[in-house]
Amino acid sequence: MEETGKNSIIEEGENLEKKEENFKEKESLEEVFKKKEQEIKYWKELALRYAAEVENLKKSFKKEKEEYYKFALEVVFRELLPCVDNLERALEAFTHSENKQALKEGVEITLKTILQTLEKFGLKQFVPSLGEPFQPHLHEALSTEEHPEIPNGGIIKVYQKGYKLHDRIIRPALVCVCMSKKEKTEIEEKEEEENIIENE
């Protein structure tokens, strides 16, 4: 009888110890969960803050880009304004002065200044020389003619100068190209054939 009482007391004690251990385990698990929740909250707030900063940077870059494109040519225009002033003065001088030579020289100087200003910013004028071979990436042929001294495919006349911006052609030179009668008739025949086919 005493033994069974002892056993039950021991069992109760063991049960109590187990309950305490379980309680401690639950407590430590809750603490771990709380810590993890706090960590998650911290990283979530940090991610949101960074996302907001990135969005602000995007807006700022977009605004700066718009401003840049809006005023990119400000320096060029500022450099060209004195040339505009000189041309306006030349127009005024036409009404008062009869010295056409002086006026012509003034306009020539102004044009030279404009070209020098444009060259500062990478724009260069080019003029094909007579007899130079026709190059499609530099020249645009407006017409063809025969010429006794210039070989086939050579430039006979320059109607308009060309312009390069750094290494890019922004306006090809307009030219007249030399073509022999034989080649001319071959091209005309081809064009006629194409027209006949289109009309059919």
Return the amino acid letter for 183: E
The predicted-structure confidence for 157-175, as pLDDT tens digits, reads as follows 999 999 999 989 999 999 9
Q: Is residue 169 part of a domain?
A: yes
Alpha-carbon span 86 to 95, nearest angstrom: 15
Q: Is residue 19 part of a domain?
A: no
Q: Is residue 60 part of a domain?
A: no
Full domain range(s) for residue 181: 123-200
Q: Is residue 187 part of a domain?
A: yes
For position 146, which CATH number holds? 2.30.22.10
Q: Is residue 163 part of a domain?
A: yes
Q: What is the pLDDT, as a whole number, of residue 1?
A: 47
The predicted-structure confidence for 53-75, as pLDDT tens digits, reads as follows 999 999 999 999 888 888 888 88
Structurally, the chain folds into a number of domains equal to 1
Residue 131 region by backbone torsions, left for phi larger than 0, else alpha for psi between -120 and 50, else beta: left
Of 105, 72, 75, 107, give the one whose Cα is nearest residue 90.
107
The predicted-structure confidence for 77-130, as pLDDT tens digits, reads as follows 899 999 999 888 888 887 877 788 888 888 899 999 999 999 999 999 999 999
